[in-house]
């Protein structure tokens, strides 16, 4: 009768020859029993699996046991014999070393090849893009959808004093410090690892030179990021960020309220929407229509351009600005100029409403 590997669809003849060579060499030294054990172990490790794919994607669930992993592999036709697979994993001592993730297995035709790819291979990475101006909550919801993290655990960590101290950001939360950028994470990555990556990116942007410049302006790092987040919330085009920054610097210097609409959007439940007069009367430390100075913390995650704008505002004497209706703003030095600019914008808004009504009727 031919041995098992002689009739399998993918023979392991080389491993068989290797086993015979070991027997021939070691029998005089170790004895038949010891060599037989070694031979059996090698046979189990290189036991062929009738995987019909040259490459196949498989997802290992988070917290899966070895038995569950074997079942997953068998359900995906990667294993034809799950028992030898689990024996091989235990032989190598990898029972708890197969991480969760989505993997692309190549030429996974025997136990050893499958195990080494799962243990030593990198899970497939998912591309995620955190946008400028997103709040912690928006980021958490987005990541929960993209890489299946627990958004509640994510937000809980963002408020955890011990975790924040570990990150050297001893503030009330990580609002403003989850840097907007494109990242690559394995699916089901732990929330703390994701947060650490985002914060590390922020810390690479906020250099000692920037901190020194912030101190020259009379701002703490938290205050600087807070101002940058307001600029982020106001500006659409990069060219305007230093101008908007100057408006807020000028208002702070003159002791005026900032009256920044993004701070109101931050405290209403159904943001973003058009603000009403009653919104401007909401009692909150973030309401810059009622309170003087900066709010107690950032209102979103500002990008690098907004941080630089906060650090290096344009030199001007503007203290007002209003939207133009095209993404840009009209800047003013006096209340009269500002009132005229508002009337122009209100006229544009009324015209846009009229066009929308006609469009909907059509």
| Tens-digit pLDDT profile for residues 311-331 | 999 999 999 999 998 999 999
Encode the chain (362 residues) as per-residue pLDDT tens digits.
334 443 444 444 445 544 554 555 555 555 556 667 777 878 888 888 987 888 888 888 878 999 999 999 999 999 999 999 999 999 899 988 888 888 888 888 899 999 999 998 778 888 999 999 999 999 999 999 999 899 999 999 999 999 999 999 999 999 999 999 999 998 778 999 999 999 999 999 999 999 999 999 999 999 999 999 999 999 999 999 999 999 999 999 999 999 999 999 999 999 999 999 999 999 999 999 999 999 999 999 999 999 999 999 999 999 999 999 899 999 999 999 999 999 998 888 888 778 777 777 76
Helices (H) and strands (E) in the chain, counts: 16, 6
Residue carrying the six token digits 């929960």? 144
Give the C-alpha separation, 157 to 155, whole Å: 5
Tokens linked to 11: 């023979």
Domain boundary assignment for the chain? 4-120, 125-205, 217-318
4-120 and 125-205 in the same fold: yes
Question: Helix 221-234 crosses helix 208-216 at what angle (to 10 degrees)?
Answer: 90
The domain defined by 4-120 folds into: Dna Ligase; domain 1 (3.30.1490)
**Backbone dihedral region for residue 297 (phi beyond 0: left; psi -120 to 50: alpha; all else: beta):** beta
The domain defined by 125-205 folds into: Dna Ligase; domain 1 (3.30.1490)
Beta strands in the chain (DSSP E): 55-60, 101-106, 125-129, 182-186, 320-323, 329-332
- Classified as helix, coil or strand, 48 is strand
Phi then psi dihedrals of residue 59, to 5 deg? -110, 125
* pLDDT tens per residue, range 115-153: 999 998 778 888 999 999 999 999 999 999 999 899 999
CA angle 260, 314, 319 (to 5 degrees): 40
Contacts of 301 (CB under 8 A, 6+ apart): 130, 132, 133, 134, 135, 136, 139, 175, 176, 177, 178, 179, 180, 229, 232
**Backbone dihedral region for residue 175 (phi beyond 0: left; psi -120 to 50: alpha; all else: beta):** beta
* Residue pair 198/178 in contact by the 8 Å Cβ criterion: yes
Q: Which residues pair with 103 in a beta bridge?
A: 58
* Residue pair 297/226 in contact by the 8 Å Cβ criterion: yes
Contacts of 70 (CB under 8 A, 6+ apart): 79, 82, 85, 86
Contacts of 325 (CB under 8 A, 6+ apart): 345, 348, 349, 352
Question: Distances from the Cα of 258 to the Cαs of 44, 262, 318, in angstroms?
Answer: 72, 11, 13
DSSP 280: G
Handedness of CA 342, 321, 251, 233 (dihedral sign): positive
Beta strands in 212-339 (DSSP E): 320-323, 329-332
Give the C-alpha separation, 100 to 295, whole Å: 41
Tokens linked to 40: 């059996």
- Classified as helix, coil or strand, 267 is helix
């Amino acid at each position: 009768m031919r041995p098992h590997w002689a009739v399998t669809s993918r023979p392991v003849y080389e491993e068989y020859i290797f086993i015979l060579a070991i027997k021939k060499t070691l029998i005089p030294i170790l004895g038949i029993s010891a060599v037989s054990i070694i031979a059996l172990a090698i046979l189990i490790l290189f036991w062929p699996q009738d995987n019909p794919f040259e490459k196949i994607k498989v997802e290992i669930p988070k917290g899966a046991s070895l038995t569950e992993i074997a079942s997953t592999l068998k359900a995906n036709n990667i294993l034809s014999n799950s028992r030898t697979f689990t024996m091989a994993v235990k032989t190598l001592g990898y029972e708890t070393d197969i991480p969760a993730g989505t993997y692309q297995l190549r030429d996974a035709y025997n136990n050893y090849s499958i195990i080494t790819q799962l243990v030593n291979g990198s899970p497939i990475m998912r591309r995620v893009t955190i946008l400028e101006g997103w709040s912690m909550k928006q980021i958490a919801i987005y990541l929960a959808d993209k890489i299946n993290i627990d958004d509640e655990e994510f937000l809980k960590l963002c408020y955890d004093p011990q975790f924040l101290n570990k990150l050297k950001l001893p503030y009330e939360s990580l609002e403003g410090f989850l840097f907007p950028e494109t990242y690559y994470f394995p699916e089901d990555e732990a929330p703390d690892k994701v947060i650490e990556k985002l914060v590390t990116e922020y810390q690479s942007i906020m250099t000692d030179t920037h901190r020194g410049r912030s101190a020259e302006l009379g701002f703490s790092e938290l205050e600087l990021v807070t101002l940058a987040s307001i600029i982020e919330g106001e500006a659409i085009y990069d060219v305007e960020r230093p101008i908007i920054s100057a408006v807020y610097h000028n208002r702070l210097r003159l002791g005026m309220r900032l009256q920044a609409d993004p701070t109101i959007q931050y405290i209403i439940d159904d943001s973003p929407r058009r603000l009403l007069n009653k919104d401007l009367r909401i009692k909150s430390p973030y309401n810059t229509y009622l309170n003087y100075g900066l709010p107690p913390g950032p209102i979103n995650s500002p990008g690098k351009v907004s941080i630089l704008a906060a650090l290096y505002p344009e030199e001007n004497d503007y203290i007002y600005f209003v939207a133009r209706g095209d993404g840009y703003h009209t800047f003013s030095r006096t209340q009269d100029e500002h009132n005229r600019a508002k009337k122009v914008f209100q006229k544009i808004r009324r015209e846009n409403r009229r066009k929308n009504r006609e469009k909907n009727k059509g």
